[in-house]
Structure 1
């Protein structure tokens, strides 16, 4: 029997989606009410990911050194990732500042790219060209503001993640009830 013919038989309340959604909403509330702890959690997460990624790069070298002539780059990358991860673990303030500047740089580069790639719209549509140009310039101004105020950048990152958690948490709660 195919999977769709017994769909009605497998319907029911989705407890996993409900619990997942509630946990996401609670995490979002925690991020907003404790931004300093949230930034520390981001730093810890990035540190652990960086260290693990460093070991992955080192494993890549040991596995592919005979097949890829420039595999030595993976040693350099692996060691740098591990060093950055360790530095993040021992200096939360410097790591938080680094993450804030990286977030601001991300906005800056995306805004500059938006301005550059908006020019192709000029010949297609004047309306879309101007809307995109205005939004890209607005994004550039926000990015410059974030560069000059790294604390605002860190808080913006926390608010965006919290907002994402709220959206997907509510979506999961709705999905839990929708499958009844």
Structure 2
């Protein structure tokens, strides 16, 4: 229905590709700075998320009771982790490296467990 049959040169894809190549060059040129920047972004996001959770704690406690305490503890953990990452960037890099490795491993395992549907479409692809 939404298929476009007229294939033309896509300038936006070219420009996006060039931007990604330039970005990749700088990221690969300074991997420590890249990882440090990523750790700081995650740390700031965790602190903001923790503050946001604390700001709604009173209303949630009034509405749900005990579940609000769990959220408060989680908010405090978010803030502590964020501060830990900001003040100890190497620990953040170490932690995030393992987090990504575990994430990729779990994603691969889930993919392997859910691959059986490929038998119906292409046995060679299933085996691969």
SS in 1 for 2:62: coil
User: Which residue does 1:80 correspond to in 2?
Assistant: 77
Q: Is the 8 A contact 1:60 1:74 kept in 2?
A: no
Cα deviation for residue 21 of structure 1 reads: 9.0
Q: Which residue is equivalent to 1:54? A: 50
Match of 1:116 among 107, 113, 117: 113
| Relative contact order, higher structure (CA 8 A, sep 6+) | 1
Q: Is the 8 A contact 1:65 1:72 kept in 2?
A: yes
Question: Mind listing any 5+ residue stretches in structure 2 that lack a counterpart?
Answer: 1-14
1:20-35 aligned at under 5 Å gives the runs 26-35=22-31
Alpha-carbon RMSD across the aligned residues, in angstroms, is: 2.4
Question: Structure 1 pair 63/26, CA: closer, same or farther in 2 (3 Å)?
Answer: farther
Instruction: Name the residue aligned to 2:3.
Output: none
Q: Is the CA contact 1:43–1:95 (under 8 Å) kept in the aligned structure 2?
A: yes
Instruction: Give the CA deviation at 1:32.
Output: 1.8
| Alignment correspondent of 1:42 | 38
Give the TM-score normalised by the residue count of structure 1: 0.55
Q: Does the Cα contact within 8 Å between 1:50 and 1:81 map onto a contact in 2?
A: yes
Query: Taking structure 1 as reference, are residues 29 and 63 closer, same or farther at Cα in structure 2, changes over 3 Å only?
Result: farther
Aligned partners of 1:100 and 1:89: how far apart in 2?
16
Residue 120 of structure 2 is aligned to residue 106 of structure 1: no
Query: What is the deviation of 1:27?
Result: 4.2
Following superposition, the deviation at residue 72 of structure 1 comes to: 1.5
Alignment of 1:155-166 (within 5 A): none
Moved over 4 A (4+): 20-27
Unaligned runs of 5+ in 1: 1-17, 132-180
TM-score by structure 2 length?
0.75
1:65 is paired with a residue whose SS is helix
